[in-house]
Copies of this chain bind each other. A is one copy, B any other.
């Protein structure tokens, strides 16, 4: 079972996940939103399912896929460790542009 970032690294897989943001979709729905063959889509869905990023519900001969949030959370938490780095750079830009929100008094010029 590969890790979450590995799964997210493929643009076509991200595209599928984006298409699932508004709720469950059938395989054909998803195929129509890509330029790939149906087997290719099914293959990627399989990988996403195996790593629990999507859930599968069967309705007749339709297979409805939907997002499962937990793995995304892991990735998000990992990225959380770097939040201070981008906040820092935003603060620097604010200083340069003089557009910072004066939350606390800063050292005088």
Contacts and interface: CB of A to CB of B under 8 A. Distances in A.
Interface stretch (A7-15, A32-40, A57-65): A7-15
B89 A70 contact: yes
Interface stretch (A43-51, A72-80, A95-103): A72-80
Chain A interface, >50% SS class: helix
Interface residues of A, number: 30
Nearest to A53: B82
Contact of A9 (B8, B87, B89): B8
Contacts of A70: 86, 89
A79 B89 contact: no
Given A3-B11, A9-B9, A67 B79 contact: no
A79 to B, nearest CB: 4
Contacts of A68: 85, 89
Given A5-B8, A72-B79, 8 more contacts: A5-B5, A5-B14, A8-B9, A17-B82, A68-B85, A69-B88, A73-B86, A76-B83
